[in-house]
Amino acid sequence: MKLLIISTPFTGHISPTFKLAESLKNMGHSVDYITTPKWSSAIEKAGAGITPHEECSKLSVMIKEAYKTALSVGSAYDGIIYDELFFLGKALGDMLKVPVVRYFPCAAINKEIMGQLLCGHGFMGIFRLRFVRRRWTDEICKEIAPSIKDWTEEVVNNAPEHNIVFVPEWFQPYIADFPFDRYHFVGPSVYDDGETEIPECIKNNEQPVIYVSLGTIDNSQLRFYRKCLKAFAGKNARFIISVGKRIDIVKLGKVPDNCSVYSYAPQKRILEYSDLFVTHGGMNSINEAMVNGVPMMVIPLSNDQPINAKRVEELGLGKRFKVNKLNVDQLWESITEILSDLQIKSSVRSAKERLNEKCGGEAAAKLLTSLLAQKDTLRNLSDK
């Protein structure tokens, strides 16, 4: 079976698919991607090929370029798996007469969740006004899929027959709105990409290890990182802080001896050693924390992060805070409170045990193979 994955190039959207691609490859299927060239190396490591489209900074251009590229090559595939942000996926499948399956790297989206996203901060907030959504949609669709007037309504109201969701069903908000015959909650898909570099300071470390990272997009929080260094100085713990590539580490000032600051850190490996994760609450980060059994202090910044943070707290996996409401003393007090919370430790341990019973990427690969094989059988019967 020859399969095509269409993904936007954001880390949180593409990285859950790597284990899926690797699993499909191991099952004997051929897998190719349509995305930007910057992911070529990671895609090759997963055993897949890539038909890249032009690197660009605007999401509207990315979506249009991905559609044009898929239109030129897509008919050669037995199935297309597309990112929920690529809202043209269903229209593309209809045009090419190729079966499609949508995937959600985060919680699946219904009307209520979409409303919360549109009223929040970050990228989604720009679509709060309907006329903005319609103008942006028209800019993409007028020559491609003119029947689509509002991309957010397309995502919510025009779901394909099958949808893969890379979160467990017990994490999904409004679960009753997502029937299990159409929405398949396979759980986290954490890909081992061969990262081996682990900070020396956490090897054979006897102190609690606290890892701080605010993701890869809205992570330019210089003031917060300075608070962290001030709060952590002299404390009986080892702190690993990943500040991203846009922060000049020199501007943080003096770094305490028990803190290590990096522009990039191998998060999946560090979490294996961590006792607490201070996170922005992106779904990838939450999944990686749950798989490793790490309690969370969630400081949501934008998009779906407030929704995820609320769910983490509801499930007893950690606590949520507002970045601007935490002073230096509260920051350390909150960390010690979570570290000593026996109920949180129990909930996190239980979540880890449930999640490690299966891998989301492998489960998604088996599911896709079954679904597409059924479609192929039905198509052959109709041809006769």
Q: What per-residue string of b and e applies to 163-197 under the rule 16 or more CB within 10 Å gives b?
A: bbbbbbeebbbebeebeeeebbbbbbbbbeeeeee
In 122-182, the DSSP E strands lie at 163-165
Give the pLDDT confidence score for residue 382 in this predicted structure. 39
3-state SS class at 93 = helix
Identical fold between 2-189+359-383 and 200-355: yes
* % of the chain exceeding 70 in pLDDT: 95
More confident residue, 81 or 263: 81
The domain ranges of the chain are: 2-189+359-383, 200-355
Q: How far apart are CA 117 and CA 108, in angstroms?
A: 12
Question: Exposed, middle or buried, 140 (CB in 10 Å: 0-12/13-18/19+)?
Answer: buried
* % of the chain exceeding 90 in pLDDT: 73
Q: What is the pLDDT of residues 254-274, one digit of tens each?
A: 999 999 999 888 888 899 999
Long-range CB contacts for residues 263-267, cutoff 8 Å, separation at least 24: 265/199, 265/211, 265/213, 265/240, 266/195, 266/196, 266/197, 266/198, 267/211, 267/213, 267/242
Q: What is the DSSP letter of 319?
A: E
- Is the model's pLDDT at 217 over the cut of 80? no
Q: How far apart are CA 186 and CA 295, in angstroms?
A: 22
Q: Specify the fold of 2-189+359-383.
A: Rossmann fold (3.40.50)
Other Cβ atoms closer than 10 A to 261? 19
Q: How far apart are CA 187 and CA 146, in angstroms?
A: 35
- Is the model's pLDDT at 165 over the cut of 90? yes
Q: Could you say which of 2.40.160.20, 3.40.50.2000, 3.50.50.100, 3.10.150.10 is the CATH number of the domain covering 200-355?
A: 3.40.50.2000
Determine contact, residues 338/312, Cβ cutoff 8 Å.
Answer: no
What pTM did the predictor assign? Answer: 0.92
Give the pLDDT confidence score for residue 381 in this predicted structure. 36
Q: Give the mean model confidence (pLDDT) for residues 205-230.
A: 86
Q: How far apart are CA 90 and CA 82, in angstroms?
A: 9
2-11, 250-259, 324-333: which is most confident = 2-11
pLDDT band at 15; cut points 50, 70, 90: very high
Give the pLDDT confidence score for residue 196 in this predicted structure. 62
Determine contact, residues 235/208, Cβ cutoff 8 Å.
Answer: no
